[in-house]
Amino acid sequence: MNGNEMLFVAFPYAAFVIAVVVSILRWRRHPFTVSALSSQLLENRRLFWGSVSFHWGITVILVGHLLALLVPSGFELWNGAPVRLYLLEATGFALGLWALFGVVVLLARRFMVRRVQAVTTPMDIVVLVLILVQVVTGLWIALGYRWGSFWGTAVFVPYVRSLITLSPRPELVEALPIVLKTHVLAFFAFLAVFPFTRLVHIITVPLGYLTRPWQKVIRNRPEPAVYHPAADRTLERVP
Amino acid sequence: MRVRAQMSMLFHLDKCIGCHTCSVACKNLWTDRAGAEYMWWNNVETRPGTGYPTGWEDQDHYKGGWRRDDKGRLHLTLQNKPTGIARLFFNPALPQLDDYYEPFTFRYGDLFSAPAGEQQPTARPISMVTGDEMEIAGGPNWDDDLGGSQVYARNDPSLDGIDPDVRSQLEEIERVVFNYLPRICNHCLNPACVAACPSGAIYKRAEDGIVLVNENKCRAWRMCVAACPYKKVYYNWSTGKSEKCILCFPRMETGQAPACAHSCVGRIRYMGVLLYDQDLITAAAGAPETELLRAQLDAILDPWDERVVTAANAAGIDDGWIAAARRSPAWRFVKEWGLALPLHPEYRTVAMMFYIPPLSPVVATIERNLTKLDLPAERVDFELFDELDKARLPIRYLANLFSAGDEDVIRAVLRKMLAVRIYKRRQSVDGVVDDATVALLASAGTTPQEAEDIYRLTTLPTVEERFVMPPYHREMSIEAVNDPLRHKGAAGVGYVTPPRRGA
């Protein structure tokens, strides 16, 4: 196994296994530790600019990446006309800048606000730096290696699909420039640290809220459906 | 009719001396931990005042509780479901730590380690969040006893609707009036915190109505903190979990009253079962403002009614609970005597902790000129009884607190309390109850027998009469989830899992 295979085959699989197994273990064994660990109570104003920008920017971009993976043909079709390609790329770039602004504010807040410092763990910094690397390399690719949404479907999608179908083809990404490789590797690193950090809150997004009833009542034993006087008499007969 | 049981606490405000023993008992038991220092699951406020967190009743600011639309449907003031999800990243209505106060301690070590010098060493205050030196700018009872202050009392939202002249009088030093308002979680029938929790981590226990946060399911979305109109759900900044008053359920399950109630020096607190009809909750929460109180009281069921008992049995409520509901001081004060009211029913959460409103100072209320002092002493009571609207604490203020603005409800309660007081005074001081007093009792809607009962439970109750604890039968409940023998071995002091902050 050469270096390329290590990085682009072994590492992603290892990261994926870690992400899944540790997340499940943590969820089941230490549910108390699964939390978004909000620090809004301690600091509000910077969090607004940082958290809102970052979360919305990164979420939409992630969905975009996911769509490219799921329906690459759709992307190719869309990008058939240059205007639409520019529109897509400009939107993506703007979202990326938005996320970058957010993550920088969040990172600065971690260092500058004393109250937030008090609840900052090393892992918080690791996570923010990883995301920063991800966003910066993403923007760099968008600027330096145009047009990513156009060639990405031909380069990355087959590679990721090869990983998913368990027939990895690392040679697809072997010759890519270092920035692109960093972007990919940083994602796998992100996967690997995911279950050890507050990032686990991503998989707890409470979409069930949309459909559940407002109130929640819990009984320690089920409510008897119908009253059975006969059942009571049986109880009385017990010596 | 589907019957459920609710453990209700009753606060006799006329007896509260504002000593904060309840708060300290609670703090020592439950919130003496990192991240929880600023929380006071039980707090005592001076009224009129801004309370804790500052100005919590200002729902335009904090967005707590429910609102009723033109068609009579209920909506959370904070959010609908999609906006609840959209605001996960930032909750605009979340109170800030400074709305409560920055928790502090003192560097006591300096008192011992300071080098010899001219001055006495001092213990500097330090923040319990950052550990830095700080200037203390607030506390959980920062406006203690500051009734009449222009900084705190003037900003009390419950003074809205009071005549400006009366308001300005409240700030005159001779007319300053205040009372205390102890507050815990209201363990509502229609809790806004439960409805606002995106994770579904908060729930109401059917067996006794306690509202709890499942710490293992809480994900720090912190909507509950904003949605609770009483601001009685707190966010633990250290563990990243929401916490709230648990009504001392571990104590209640072993037959003890909650710590705040048990430690109460003035013996103002009562604890008892109320049976209620879960089918009537929606009606109680959604009634028009003028009928809110009536609708809530209608949902509370008579434990002496055979139909209620049958329905309660059918719902799995055992006879021990029904017996406790019959002796419940909550039942007597709330329904039988109509003396106790919920706090801010207009929030529509159907709060289930009840308050007996305070009587104002007796003499000063009728002190309009010096000639009043010539009144024979026994007339003084009658003067107040007949002229409640001149009471030192405006009726309107109490109505804003306890009856969604309905002054007649407050008048009826105060008149009854005064009637009992006058009756007992005639009886014990004069030795005779004259016809005027009996007539006065009747005009207050009560009888000598009822007055005697009210007097007895107000003034002379034993611990067993104040705290009528139902049998929880946890040994039977636990079988559903755990091996009783294993459970027995595991019960005790300590954590099931240590509340350690996740990464």
pLDDT tens for A169-194 read 888 888 889 999 999 999 999 999 99
Per-residue pLDDT of B126-172, as tens digits, reads 999 999 999 999 999 999 998 888 888 888 988 888 888 888 878 87
Strand partners, B241: B236
Q: What's the pLDDT band for A233 if we cut at 50, 70, 90?
A: very low
The letter for the amino acid at B378 is: E
Residue A2 has what pLDDT? 83
Task: Return the closest-CA partner of residue B42 out of B67, B62, B20, B18.
Answer: B20
Please give the residue that has the higher pLDDT: either B91 or A74: B91
In the structure encoding, which two tokens stand for residue B342, read together?
Answer: 């919920």
A34 touches chain B (CB under 8 A): yes
Residue ranges of the alpha helices (H) in A145-228? 148-164, 171-174, 178-193
Whether residue A228 is predicted with pLDDT greater than 80 in this model: the reply is: no
From A216, which residue of chain B is nearest by alpha-carbon distance? B203
Whether residue B498 is predicted with pLDDT greater than 80 in this model: the reply is: no
Give the mean pLDDT of B348-366: 80
Residue B374 has what pLDDT? 47
Whether residue B491 is predicted with pLDDT greater than 80 in this model: the reply is: no
Residue B208 has what pLDDT? 93
Give A118-122 contacts, CB < 8 A, sequence gap 24+. Answer: A118/A42, A118/B129, A118/B130, A118/B131, A119/A37, A119/A39, A119/A42, A119/B237, A119/B238, A119/B501, A121/B501, A121/B503
Taking CB atoms and an 8 Å limit, are A215 and B480 in contact across chains? no
Residue A13 has what pLDDT? 95
Whether residue A197 is predicted with pLDDT greater than 80 in this model: the reply is: yes
Per-residue pLDDT of B460-477, as tens digits, reads 999 999 999 999 887 777
Q: What's the pLDDT band for A238 if we cut at 50, 70, 90?
A: very low
Residue B371 has what pLDDT? 39
A208 touches chain B (CB under 8 A): yes
Residue A1 has what pLDDT? 67
Q: What's the pLDDT band for B430 if we cut at 50, 70, 90?
A: confident
Residue A201 has what pLDDT? 93
Provide the 8-state DSSP code for B305: -
Task: Return the closest-CA partner of residue A161 out of A150, A151, A169, A171.
Answer: A169
Angstrom CA distances, B100 to A194, B38, B233, B386, B419, stand at 34, 7, 12, 41, 40
CB pairs under 8 A between A and B: 160
Residue A229 has what pLDDT? 45
DSSP B81-130: HHHHHHTSS--TTPPPHHHH---EEE-THHHHHSPS-SSPP---EEETTT
Residue B144 to residue A94: CA distance in whole angstroms: 52
E-strand ranges in A56-164 read none
Residue A176 to residue B143: CA distance in whole angstroms: 67
CB B47 within 8 A of CB B401: yes
Taking CB atoms and an 8 Å limit, are B199 and A209 in contact across chains? yes
Taking CB atoms and an 8 Å limit, are B503 and A33 in contact across chains? yes
DSSP B149-210: -TTTGGG-GGGTTS-HHHHHHHTSGGG---EEEEE-----SS-HHHHH-TT--EEEETTT--
Give the range among A107-121, A137-151, B257-271 with minimum mean pLDDT: A137-151
Give the range among A11-20, B148-157, B395-404 with minimum mean pLDDT: B148-157
Residue B496 has what pLDDT? 66
Give the range among A14-23, B54-63, B482-491 with minimum mean pLDDT: B482-491
In the structure encoding, which two tokens stand for residue B209, read together?
Answer: 């109505």
Taking CB atoms and an 8 Å limit, are A38 and B220 in contact across chains? yes
ipTM attached to this prediction: 0.88
Total residue count of chain B as it appears in this document: 503
* Residue tagged 């009728």 (tokens): B366
Please give the residue that has the higher pLDDT: either B131 or B478: B131
Residue A233 to residue B114: CA distance in whole angstroms: 77
Angstrom CA distances, A166 to A10, A12, A68, A73, A161, stand at 11, 11, 20, 22, 8
Residue B495 has what pLDDT? 63
Whether residue B369 is predicted with pLDDT greater than 60 in this model: the reply is: no
Angle, CA B432 vertex, CA B428 and CA B438 arms, to 5°: 100
Give the range among A31-35, A230-234, B168-172, B242-246 with minimum mean pLDDT: A230-234
Residues of B in contact with A207 (CB under 8 A): 85
Query: In this structure, what are the phi and psi dihedrals at residue B497, rounded to the nearest 5 degrees?
Result: -130, 145
- Chain B contacts in chain A segment 133-192 (CB below 8 A): none
Q: Mean pLDDT across chain A, nearest whole number?
A: 88
Taking CB atoms and an 8 Å limit, are B315 and A224 in contact across chains? yes
Please give the residue that has the higher pLDDT: either B494 or A30: A30
Give the range among A71-85, A195-209, B232-246, B379-393 with minimum mean pLDDT: B379-393
Share of chain B above pLDDT 90, in %: 74
CB B285 within 8 A of CB B348: yes
* Residue-range domains of chain A with CATH: 3-211 (1.20.950.20)
Taking CB atoms and an 8 Å limit, are B200 and A40 in contact across chains? no
Chain B nearest CA to A236, separation (Å): 14
Query: In this structure, what are the phi and psi dihedrals at residue B234, rounded to the nearest 5 degrees?
Result: -120, 150
Buried b (16+ CB within 10 A) or exposed e, A16-32: bebbeebbeebbeeebb
Per-residue pLDDT of B335-347, as tens digits, reads 999 999 999 999 9
Q: What's the pLDDT band for B370 if we cut at 50, 70, 90?
A: very low
Compare CB distances from B94 to A41, A52, A201 and report the shortest one's residue. Answer: A41
Total residue count of chain A as it appears in this document: 239
Query: What's the number of CA atoms in the CB half-sphere (13 Å) around residue B436?
Result: 8
Residue B379 has what pLDDT? 66
Share of chain A above pLDDT 90, in %: 66
Share of chain A above pLDDT 70, in %: 92
Residue B500 to residue B288: CA distance in whole angstroms: 46
Per-residue pLDDT of B88-133, as tens digits, reads 999 999 999 999 999 999 999 999 999 999 999 999 999 999 999 9
Burial (0-12, 13-18, 19+ Cβ within 10 Å), B6: buried
Please give the residue that has the higher pLDDT: either B332 or B372: B332
Provide the 8-state DSSP code for A51: I
Taking CB atoms and an 8 Å limit, are B241 and A35 in contact across chains? yes
Q: Mean pLDDT across chain B, nearest whole number?
A: 90
A112 touches chain B (CB under 8 A): no
Taking CB atoms and an 8 Å limit, are A209 and B191 in contact across chains? no
Give the mean pLDDT of B209-234: 96
Angle, CA B321 vertex, CA B318 and CA B322 arms, to 5°: 90
Residues of B in contact with A52 (CB under 8 A): 89-90
Whether residue B62 is predicted with pLDDT greater than 80 in this model: the reply is: yes
Residue A71 has what pLDDT? 87
Chain A nearest CA to B497, separation (Å): 8
Residue A174 has what pLDDT? 85
